[in-house]
A and B are shown apart, each in its own frame.
Chain A
């Protein structure tokens, strides 16, 4: 048995590395999606700022309606009022937050208490993530997303819209909640594959930082 382990450390069986390679290939698009969406959506903070400033200015000038038109269009209805701008703020804020959750996952920004974690080996840290994702994060995301289906459907069927002449099609932002949670579950799944690949082939940890920008 001892000789076996010795032989693995001097000349590792190629199979182990092949599996690691395969896992890394599966992980790549899953992680890439969350990271790419996160980078793009991070610009929304500027749009949110602009929207808030717009309402401040409209308020100060006593304006209510910016433009209006004949036929109802998607999301906006038939005019842009101060209430559309106000509601647009939290619509965009919601997207920023929900997508940002996956982005923060990939950059390891989420708060950890690292009194113990700090002293774990790289493989130990990977196992914490793998088990946590499979037992905690993924069930939470999938279940809450699935249970939100009803509340999105209700909103769609009843044609829910702003009570104050703001945005229409409220189901869109409601659907963003389950969509954001599913994105987070997919991101977590990608990390599980990635961490498994790193455990099987520790050279991968040295090659690249798992949490680059």
Chain B
């Protein structure tokens, strides 16, 4: 095997070494493609197809236009203070329930992180927004940090998630179906989080004090009447998210159209709050451009890497190795899930979706699972990968949502506290993943793809 696949193996090793040097992954993928094309004596004109593939796969890809638009929407909601107001109002709404603030944070995470898409960015955003409020109210760090990390990453699963848009494009499945399929598992995880928070707050009241017991008690008095606050802060974002999701799921709008409506809606909400000024708009546009280019350049680099990797026999090698294990469908599924879980320690979902997922597709395609129709197989697999990746980002000691959280932690909160805070959530995630594997209907019922 070493003779046959020597260069493909070397390419993977070179990628691993390069990734740990800290050089941007997008450029590494492109560069290694070129380098190994020379080493493997691949005729230069063959590389010419890379250019036309990039053109067809990225620039001419109408679906991907949704990415900058969703990023714009998320950043606009954050920068204009819509997200902050939403948190304050949710806090008032649930203020009388023990653990209510934590539940508000989880809800905000679900609504907001959906549109930002980048794990690091959404965890940092949610952390900066929610941690100070929770700390002032006297929440135990063991509770607060876990909520922020878990809800900040839940956004990659709950639609409208950029990751699902990209997976739809890679796996050639309808983004509307994927959104529908991810909704139930996402909500299920949200419910599991909420139950955990309520139970913990009931057993250990000192972990989750009420607003009236903390320093922020005066804030509840200063605000506008409840009904006005609800209409102003909650109705806007909720209508926006429902309109965006609803139109995609109902098949009225394509993801790109819905994203444009969402982006315009976020502008309107910011205008309504009188928070839309020149410099805010400029910052949002600039950050949107950088973030979406960052995502799409991984696609561009991965295009070059995969073309060469395939030419060197890499695809066959992966299929050989995986089928060579002689495992049954469920054994293979667990193997693939384990592989993706470990890769999630080091890589963002962007690289995993673009480099790893296409390699695994041929392996998965032939498998049969109880309760999964052939048309639903890829949809189910994509959602399992999404839940798995989210869990991987949260799992100590490498889960890198945790490193971002440590970066913005106040005072002397150690990484140990963050690890302890996240472990219950990892357990909930794994429960959710197992449920979705055992009962595919959780995923496939809503898009109507059950057998």
Binding site for B on A (CB under 8 A): 38-39, 41-46, 48-49, 52-53, 55-56, 86, 89-90, 93-94, 96-101, 103-105, 107, 109-118, 120, 125, 128-129, 131-133, 135-137, 139-141, 143-145, 147-148, 150-151, 173-174, 176-178, 213
Evaluate whether A177 and B59 lie within 8 angstroms (CB atoms) in the complex, with A42-B289, A144-B51, A147-B50 already known.
Answer: yes
Complex Cα distance A115/B25, Å? Answer: 13
Please tell me if the beta carbons of A137 and B30 are within 8 angstroms of each other in the complex. Answer: yes
Please tell me if the beta carbons of A97 and B293 are within 8 angstroms of each other in the complex. Answer: yes
- B236 CB → nearest A CB, Å: 18
Q: Mark B186-227, 1 if CB is under 8 A from A, else 0.
A: 000000000000000000000000000000000000000000
Q: For A44, give the chain B residue with the smallest CB separation.
A: B289
Q: Mark B246-281, 1 if CB is under 8 A from A, else 0.
A: 000000010011011101100000000000000000
Subset of 14 A-B contacts with CB under 8 Å: A42-B290, A49-B264, A56-B261, A94-B60, A97-B296, A99-B289, A104-B291, A131-B23, A136-B30, A137-B31, A144-B34, A144-B54, A145-B51, A177-B54
> In the assembled complex, which residues on chain B have CB atoms less than 8 Å from the CB atom of A38?
286, 289-290
| A contacts with B: majority SS | helix
B298 interfacial by beta-carbon distance below 8 Å: yes
Evaluate whether A144 and B65 lie within 8 angstroms (CB atoms) in the complex, with A100-B293, A132-B21, A136-B30 already known.
Answer: no
Please tell me if the beta carbons of B28 and A136 are within 8 angstroms of each other in the complex. Answer: yes
B48 interfacial by beta-carbon distance below 8 Å: yes
Which stretch from B317-325, B347-355, B388-396 is at the chain A interface?
Answer: B347-355
Complex Cα distance A125/B45, Å? Answer: 35
B138 interfacial by beta-carbon distance below 8 Å: no
Evaluate whether A49 and B62 lie within 8 angstroms (CB atoms) in the complex, with A103-B293, A177-B51 already known.
Answer: no
Binding site for A on B (CB under 8 A): 18-28, 30-35, 44-45, 47-48, 50-52, 54-55, 58-62, 64-65, 68-69, 72, 253, 256-257, 259-261, 263-264, 285-286, 288-294, 296-298, 300-301, 304, 346-348, 350-351
Partner of B23, one of A90, A132, A151, A213: A132
Greatest chain B CB density within 10 A among A56, A109, A113, A151 is at A113
- A116 CB → nearest B CB, Å: 5
Please tell me if the beta carbons of B59 and A128 are within 8 angstroms of each other in the complex. Answer: no
Evaluate whether A110 and B27 lie within 8 angstroms (CB atoms) in the complex, with A38-B289, A41-B289, A45-B285 already known.
Answer: yes
Q: For B22, give the chain A residue with the smallest CB separation.
A: A117
> In the assembled complex, which residues on chain A have CB atoms less than 8 Å from the CB atom of B61?
90
Partner of B292, one of A90, A100, A116, A144: A100
> In the assembled complex, which residues on chain A have CB atoms less than 8 Å from the CB atom of B60?
90, 94
Please tell me if the beta carbons of B260 and A116 are within 8 angstroms of each other in the complex. Answer: no
Evaluate whether A93 and B68 lie within 8 angstroms (CB atoms) in the complex, with A113-B22, A132-B21, A177-B54 already known.
Answer: yes
Please tell me if the beta carbons of B48 and A49 are within 8 angstroms of each other in the complex. Answer: no
Complex Cα distance A71/B132, Å? Answer: 63
Please tell me if the beta carbons of A111 and B260 are within 8 angstroms of each other in the complex. Answer: no
Please tell me if the beta carbons of B33 and A140 are within 8 angstroms of each other in the complex. Answer: yes
Partner of A116, one of B21, B51, B293: B21
Q: For B283, give the chain A residue with the smallest CB separation.
A: A213
Please tell me if the beta carbons of A139 and B31 are within 8 angstroms of each other in the complex. Answer: yes
Complex Cα distance A94/B25, Å? Answer: 21
Please tell me if the beta carbons of A107 and B290 are within 8 angstroms of each other in the complex. Answer: yes
- B170 CB → nearest A CB, Å: 17
Complex Cα distance A147/B50, Å? Answer: 9
- B45 CB → nearest A CB, Å: 8
Evaluate whether A52 and B27 lie within 8 angstroms (CB atoms) in the complex, with A41-B289, A96-B289, A150-B48 already known.
Answer: no
Evaluate whether A113 and B20 lie within 8 angstroms (CB atoms) in the complex, with A45-B285, A135-B35 already known.
Answer: yes
Complex Cα distance A105/B30, Å? Answer: 15
Partner of B298, one of A96, A111, A140, A141: A111
Please tell me if the beta carbons of B62 and A90 are within 8 angstroms of each other in the complex. Answer: yes
> In the assembled complex, which residues on chain B have CB atoms less than 8 Å from the CB atom of A150?
48
